Amino acid sequence: MPCFYRCIRSLIWRSCSSTTPVLGSMSEERWTAVDRYIVETLVGSDPAVETAIEAGRAAGLPAYDVSPNEGKLLFLLARILGARSILEIGTFAGYSAIWLARALPPGGRLITLEADAGYAERARANLVLAGLAGAVEVRVGPALETLPRLAREGHGPFDLIFIDADKRNNPGYLEWSLRLSRHGTLIVADNVVRGGQVAEPDNADPDVQGVRRFNEMIASDPRLTATAIQTVGTKGWDGFALIFVTAG
């Protein structure tokens, strides 16, 4: 791609709070309209939870929540797997945790890790609102500290792991996820496209480099088979990766 376009695209991605790349307002409007249509027709929603998440946005929190469509995808994946134990790295306000916990059978557990005590508090409140507090444990602290603790305590292997924290640490999160996995564990990683920046080898953003290193680790690990899917919608242009653990 000519440098001009690459530079403009990077500028657009960064100047729009990095979470909402605007690649032409008409596209953005249409993607949002289609997302709304999909949510209304297929996804469904819990008005109390949606209101709480909206309140967080209104209070100036970043737009780190997964879209409802992606939340429903996480729910479906957990159901398809019959997941009884789920690990989430990066709780934020608890929206994806709610989708994942709703998929658990009776007695199933979700452990979700959050570095920021304020976000964790908000997540606990949202989980109470959703009636799911009993199935979910929110652990506060940097995940590179709480993950080794989980392993020491004998947790795992988990059936499903969702990685959605600071992307620069994705390589470390992958290492610990693999220690907490078994043959048949599915790992899902959010935000792996980053407005297209993931395809730029020299991109200076440490989060882009974290995702690129993460992908290289996956590619070189014979236990893993994976793909990534690009998405457009209410959160702009991004994507997620699916990584299947085939041994361990």
What residues make contact with Mg ion under the rule CB under 5 A? 164, 190-191
Q: Are 212 and 107 in contact (CB under 8 A)?
A: no
CB of 68 to Mg ion, least distance (A): 13
Q: Which is nearer to ligand DHB, 136 or 208 (CB)?
A: 208
Which residues neighbour 93 within 8 Å (Cβ) at sequence distance 6 or greater?
A: 52, 53, 56, 61, 64, 65, 119, 122, 123, 126
Closer residue to ligand DHB in complex, CB, 114/190:
190
- The option from Mg ion, ligand DHB, none interacting with 45 (CB < 5 to 8 A, set by class) reads none
Can you tell me whether residue 140 is helix, strand or coil?
A: strand
Task: Note the residues at the interface with ligand DHB (CB under 6 A).
Answer: 18-19, 64, 164, 190-191
Cβ-based nearer residue to Mg ion, 62 or 82: 62
> In angstroms, what is the minimal distance from the CB of 136 to ligand DHB?
18
Which tokens is 118 given?
Answer: 């304020």
With beta carbons less than 8 A apart as the criterion, state whether 23 and 236 touch.
yes
By a kind-dependent CB cut-off of 5 to 8 A, residue 20 interacts, out of ligand DHB, Mg ion, none, with: none
Of 20 and 202, which has the nearer Cβ to Mg ion?
20
What's the min distance (Å) between Cβ of 151 and ligand DHB? 24
159 binds, among Mg ion, ligand DHB, none (CB under 5 to 8 A by kind): none
Centroid of chain to Cα 182:
20
Closest residue to ligand DHB, based on beta-carbon distance: 19
What does the alpha-carbon distance between residue 18 and residue 205 come to, in Å, rounded to a whole number?
11
Give CA–CA dist 85/63, Å, rounded: 27
Indicate which of Mg ion, ligand DHB, none lies near residue 158 (CB less than 5 to 8 Å, by partner kind).
none
Q: How far is the CB of 117 from ligand DHB (least distance, A)?
A: 18
CB of 44 to ligand DHB, least distance (A): 21
Q: Smaller CB distance to ligand DHB: residue 14 or 182? A: 14
| Residue whose CB is less far from ligand DHB, 16 or 226 | 16
Contacted by 114, from ligand DHB, Mg ion, none: CB < 5 to 8 Å by type: none
Q: CA 38 to CA 32: how far, in whole Å? A: 10
Task: Report residue 160 as tokens.
Answer: 């499903």
Angle between helices 95-102 and 68-81 (to 10 degrees): 30
Cα angle 36, 38, 42; round to 5: 130
